[in-house]
Structure 1
């Protein structure tokens, strides 16, 4: 894995934070770590501070219950965190097939222990982190990162994160939605420069 600069390392951290929080409910050690986060006074920094405060006042059972209501539910959660669903209204559609085709040449493969389709928002956040830091074999150039972002993330995750931020069932996860919404806008703007 090649060394990356500080700005790219910060991007990796945000992508991995989003991936971890959206993959499964936080455990006690993660809530403790999150509650200690500090940030600057930028809009994204204030969202990170809000997440730290939320982690400090949320108990483990409440965060687990909220995750289940939002993303699992009895039949399905309040939100369906899959690209195919956001883009077509159905799971396992053409956006998932296109993603799988684009993953192969980048050295990205679905883990055998993962049950969700690859277009889950957490998986996509993890894939972007890997493209930036070389987790899949090589640090990908900005052009490859942008192509992947444009094809599989920019088209729907801003809507997903906005929905999460404004969801009546969200408490702990509201600042996660805000961080995601703001970060996706920052990434989009940076890729367009």
Structure 2
């Protein structure tokens, strides 16, 4: 997933967007194995804030191990009883799990033909799941590709209200080393998406 400075083809641009959403989703869903770390280490960015964040993540990926990342992941998201962060929209927006943001998301998922995987046990409003959903929507994985208006609605309703806060917390968490890089990439990408959707609305 190479960060490209100028992409003129809309389909190529959407594919890059989907790839980055899916990449973040995979990184947040489970500890990175050696293959994913190797892929992360090969990333190259430009001089933009997102490109610089990608380069920073690549540098950290080169110097870490799957064992270290697994310890980080456990400390951040699992811990003894609970991790340092609770990466769920309901928690960030209400202070509790399984609240109205999750109910609203489930309703919208039905309309978009997005179904929960049978082997998934966590609430659907995790940042990992939301990144995967956005990536899948862009490339029509769940059915006909939602238009820009539908994508913007999903992003503004379920991701934008808390994504910047979460990714900032991920960057600053005590346990974060590799995941500080993930947080930097996520934060920069969310800013780009927010601005792009705002411009598309105009």
Aligned residue among 92, 95, 105 for 2:101: 95
- CA drift at 1:140: 0.9
Q: Which residue of 2 aligns with 1:124?
A: 130
How far residue 108 of structure 1 moved from its aligned partner, in angstroms, is 0.3
SS of match in other structure, 1:173? helix
Counterparts of 1:31 and 1:161, CA distance in 2: 19
Aligned-residue CA RMSD in angstroms? Answer: 0.8
Q: Does 1:16 align with 2:22?
A: yes
- Report the equivalent of 2:69: 63
**Which digits, 9 at most, give the CA deviation of each residue in 1:138-160, with x for residues without a partner?**
11100000000011000111100
Shift of 1:38: 1.2
Q: State the aligned residue count.
A: 190
Question: Which structure's relative contact order is higher, taking Cα pairs within 8 Å and 6+ residues apart?
Answer: 1
Which residue does 1:27 correspond to in 2?
33
TM-score, structure 2 as length reference:
0.92
Q: Deviations over 1:102-146 (max 9, x none)?
A: 000101010010010000100000010111110001111000000
Give the distance between the partners of 1:11 and 1:192, measured in 2 at CA. Answer: 16
| Runs of 4+ residues over 3 Å off in structure 1 | none
Mark the runs of 5 or more structure 2 residues left unpaired by the alignment: 1-9
Gaps of 5+ in 1: none
Q: 1:192 is matched with which residue: 159, 182, 198?
A: 198
